[in-house]
Structure 1
Amino acid sequence: MRRLVYTGFMSLDGVVDSPGGPGEGHRSGGWVVNDLTFVPEAWSLKGEELADTTALMFGRRSYEAFAPVWPGSADHADYKELPKYVVSTTLSDDALVDGWGPTTILRSTEDIAALKQSQGGAIFIHGSAELAARLSDAGLIDQYNLLVFPVLLGAGKSLFGRADRDKQLLTLRESESYSNGILKLVYDVRH
């Protein structure tokens, strides 16, 4: 069975949208890079993930944001040929970006559950807050790799849904704090 891993940046109050810049939609967009001292080791999780990533998964909006940029980005070169899965009920095959590895559109949570049952390694979800919340509520995420930033943003997209659901326990696999206030938290979901 394949593992589904959510990886992302999160504010201390749980907001995950617009970490890279204001053009992403949040009025405080760019909160990851704007106000903190750069500490290289705080970003080591991103490099560590490369060894485990065998495929990427995105919601439609995140795919549309990343697909024009990541294929030509030196920072994301290792992802270029990996299989991609885009979860969308509206995206058409002709909207997929050429030259960014094989890409498959998944139309439902059931499609994702079936993919998890297939052979292969870990699938990492980048961005895609609404997709991650839906998959968390469905019990399909196996691991969370989070870099938590010392900022409170108030409104914004949350990684976790607010639906009344059964308690879900997590096991802390790894944690580290850095001099600029960022926390690395890696949790396994107990199924």
Structure 2
Amino acid sequence: MIRYLFGSQLDEHCDLSSAMFRDRTAQFRDRMGWDVIVDPLGWETDEFDALDPLYVIAEDATGGHAGSLRFLPTTGPTMLRDVFPHLTGGRPIRDRLIWECTRFCLSPSSDGTVTRRLLLAASELGLGMGLSHAVGVFDFPMVRIYRRLGWPPEVLRSADGISAGIWTFSDQTHDLLCGATGISARASRDWYEAQLGDVLPLPVRA
């Protein structure tokens, strides 16, 4: 299952959210060696987690954290604008139809299907909210992985092994991701509607 949870809802899913932040520590600090902040609970968090972002969380067979993403509107503070402005040439991206996706995290025990499920969920979120694009910051080698998974970004700029990219939301890409995951478009939409249908815009897709 895919969960769509705002930061203000994480207290209602304590085990799931704590596992997400601990897995972020395992990935970003322990495996990738990033200079990140880890609190006494072992959680990796930053200032953007305090802005009530929207988390997309893929659950494993037991309902635990398998992988996750974090979304924020570009009309407010974002990592690309406030931490990596050089990757957009100093021209911030601010558009209500463009949201930023960061903190792509996989549980150490996740299998090869989780990344595709997260991409499908991100696509569902973008289409459901009526967005045009998502932007993000990632290690440059990830471009090859995104291409292999069927949804590569357009790279905006790269420096010191880090890139900024922009993804386009489209029905065609969404259908390809449904086929790659084996998850029907109806099931993907049902998860979204059940959790966000009364909260965020839900335009009709053909």
Please confirm whether the aligned pair reaches a TM-score higher than 0.5, indicating the same fold. no
The structure carrying a bigger helix percent of its residues is 2
TM-score (norm 1): 0.29
Higher RCO (CA 8 Å, separation ≥ 6 residues): 1
